[in-house]
Amino acid sequence: MMKPSVLLTRRWPNVVEQKLAEDYDVVLNRDDRPLSEADFREAIAKYDAVLPTVTDKISAEAMDVPKARTKILANYGVGFSHIDVSAAAKHGIAITNTPDVLSECTADLAMTLMLMVARRAGEGEREVRAGGWSGWRPTHLIGTKVSGKTLGIIGFGRIGQQMARRAHHGFGMEIVVYNRSPVDPSILAQFNARQISSLDDLLPLCDFVSLHCPGGAENRNMINAARLDLMKPDAFLINTARGEVVNEHALAQALMFDTIGGAALDVFDAEPRINPMLAQCDNLVMLPHMGSATKEAREAMGFRVLDNLNDFFKGSAPRDRVA
Instruction: List the catalytic residue out of 242, 248, 298, 304.
Output: 242
User: Are the CB atoms for 266 and 212 separated by under 8 Å?
Assistant: no
Instruction: List the catalytic residue out of 17, 42, 127, 271.
Output: 271
Instruction: List the catalytic residue out of 10, 69, 249, 289.
Output: 289
Q: In this structure, are strands 25-27 and 49-51 parallel, antiparallel, or unpaired?
A: unpaired
User: Are the CB atoms for 127 and 133 separated by under 8 Å?
Assistant: yes
Measured CA to CA, the distance from residue 21 to residue 37 in angstroms comes to: 25
In the annotation, is 242 catalytic?
yes
Measured CA to CA, the distance from residue 82 to residue 62 in angstroms comes to: 12
> 51 pairs with which residues across the strands?
8
Through-space distance between the first and last CA atoms of the chain, rounded to whole angstroms: 28
In the annotation, is 41 catalytic?
no
State the virtual CA torsion across 80, 83, 89, 91 in degrees, nearest 10: -150
User: Are the CB atoms for 47 and 70 separated by under 8 Å?
Assistant: yes
Query: Dihedral sign, CA of 122, 124, 128, 130?
Result: positive
177: amino acid identity, one letter: V
Measured CA to CA, the distance from residue 103 to residue 135 in angstroms comes to: 39
Measured CA to CA, the distance from residue 122 to residue 231 in angstroms comes to: 22
In the annotation, is 321 catalytic?
no
Query: Would you please indicate which residues are annotated as catalytic (active-site) residues?
Result: 242, 271, 289
